[in-house]
Amino acid sequence: MNDQLEVKLKEAVSRFWASRETQAQKQGSKSGIRDGGARAAVTGGSQMDGFVELVRDLLEESGIDKPVIYCERYVELPGWFRPEKKWDLLVVVEGCLIAAIEFKSQVGSFGNNYNNRTEEAVGSATDLWAAYREGAFKPSARPWLGYMMLLEEAPGSTHAVKAQEPHFTVFEEFKSASYAKRYEILLTKLVRKRLYDATCFLMSNSTEGVKGLYKEPDPELSFANFASSLLAKAMACKKTK
C-alpha cells in the first residue's frame, strides 16, 4: 500500500470512531432518553461513510466518472429471493452493473451479531448471483462483488469461543476460534467460494482507532488487495467502453 493510500485509510478509521462517539452523544438529545450500551452509537448509522468515500475516490481516480458511482441514493438492486436490496456502493455504467460493495462494522455484542453478519453476507451474495443468472442485470457481464468489515479489537472479539455441538461436530477451523478468527474464516471462504470477488477485514479499538490505527489480521484480506482487485475491474471496464 502506498503512503498516500495508507493516510487516507487511517483517516477513514479515525472518522469511524469519531462518528460513533458523536452519535452516542447526540442520541436521545431531543427526547432526553438515550439507548443503552453500544446501541447509542450505532442507531445513527453512517459510521462507515469514510470507507465508502475512500473507495469512491479511488474509483474516480481510476477514471470512473462520478455520475455512475452511487453511494447514498439509487443503490437498490433487484434480487431473486426478494424484490430488491440496498447496497452501500454501486457502479453502473451505461446500463451495466460493474460493481456492488457492502461496508459493515461490529463493535461489541459479538455473540449476538456475528451470526447475523454471516447470514447477511452469504444471503446478499447468493441473492444477487441468483438474480444475475436469471438475467436481472442484462446486458451486464459478471459484476464485481466486494465486502468490507471493520471489527472492534476487544477481549470479547479476540478471546477463544467454544462452539456449541449438541448433535454434530463443527468444522475443525471453528473449534475455539475467537469471533475475530471466525470473521477471518468467513471472509476468506466468501472469496474462495466466489460469492465475493474480494473482501477486506480490519480490526481497530476505540482508544487507538481515533488516531487512525488499525490491524489487518490476514494479508489476503488487506485493504490494498481489496482496492487492487476493484480497480482492476474498473480499468478493465474503462478499456471496453
On whether the CB atoms of residues 150 and 135 are closer than 8 A, the answer is no
Spell out the alpha helix ranges (H) of the chain: 3-26, 39-42, 49-61, 110-133, 155-158, 179-192, 206-209, 223-240
Residue-wise pLDDT for 73-110, tens only, equals 999 999 999 999 999 999 999 899 999 999 999 998 89
CA triplet 120, 117, 82: central angle to 5 degrees? 15
Residue-wise pLDDT for 97-145, tens only, equals 999 999 999 998 898 899 999 999 999 999 999 999 999 999 999 999 9
Q: How confident is the model at residue 27 (pLDDT cuts 50, 70, 90)?
A: low
Q: pTM value? A: 0.89
Does residue 7 surpass a pLDDT of 60? yes
Give pLDDT, residue 40: 36
The grid coordinates listed for 197 are 470477488
Residue-wise pLDDT for 185-221, tens only, equals 999 999 999 999 999 999 999 999 999 999 999 999 9
Kindly report the backbone phi and psi dihedral angles of residue 200, in degrees, each rounded to the nearest multiple of 5, phi listed first. -130, 135
